[in-house]
Structure 1
Amino acid sequence: MTTVYDFSVKKTNGELKSLKDFEGKPLLIVNTASKCGLTPQFKELQELYNKYQKDGLEILGFPCDQFNNQEFADIKETLQFCQLNYGITFPMFAKVHVNGDDADPLFAFLKEQKSGVFSKNIKWNFTKFLVDRHGKVIERYAPTTTPSRIESDIEKVL
């Protein structure tokens, strides 16, 4: 059976990172954007990371520019923005497509495991996927669902 841990993703420097490196840890995987009305969710994501990283939680951020071009063209700008404005310390990865023919294989898998209310496609920035310690996708959260509202679900997988 395929799990999230069977995928590799591109780091911001272009190198591949195997998600097997996170095996045994619960994950919150988020497609992000730096210039979106939902961007302040970075603050709550970082707060969750600060609170639960010691218990194994990893938050993985994937910048995405598919929704109204709300991400910087240069990944270095994205990283700097996240660090300066929100103190982000959780792993951020290279920009991805989450929908369409060019969708990153990880996001194609995530959408296959948990579709949205009306479609499998991701409809906006800050869609979140919660993955348990076995690499199974447990839940998908709408972009407008704030990270603090899913804290109790995170606690259940820790």
Structure 2
Amino acid sequence: MSRLAPRTTRIPKLSRFGWLMGLYAENHVRLVRLFEPQDLPVGRYVSSVGDGLDVILDVVERHAYTVELRLSYAMHDPVTGQPDPSAHLRLYRDAQQVEATHCYVGRRWQDVIGMYPPPEEVVCHRLRMNTFLGKWIQYLAEQGHGAATLVRLPTESVVIAA
């Protein structure tokens, strides 16, 4: 009688980099569903749902395959004058991904991980930023923000500081 080796199924492991790419894809789906920013012209847009926390979406720059965005509330850090919290985003239209390149929640990335962090720390920091972004976009959708509540501000009253 022959003995058969038990068949084990292997579940592939997902690296932190693979997880990060998955977050980028999820954030693209969420952001496009929420505000449809991929075709918006450069400018500042405000979404107000009457809760006192207006959301600002700045379309900073448009390129052939990417759109540079900044998502923030209409609140500013009293020390720096910068929108707080805010997230700088890069929307890749061809790859259908959204990357939070940096977030400002009271501190800059250099203050969090230093000027010359090891690569593992950079990937971990990007995971945290993009997880934050996904939860924030989901929260905004639950509050009622969306493309229907987005209004473009006149260009003469807008100064977009990247």
Q: TM-score, normalised by structure 1?
A: 0.25
Name the one with the larger strand percent.
2
The structure that has the greater radius of gyration is 2
Q: Could you say which structure has the greater relative contact order, defined with CA pairs below 8 angstroms and 6 or more residues apart?
A: 1
Q: TM-score, normalised by structure 2?
A: 0.25
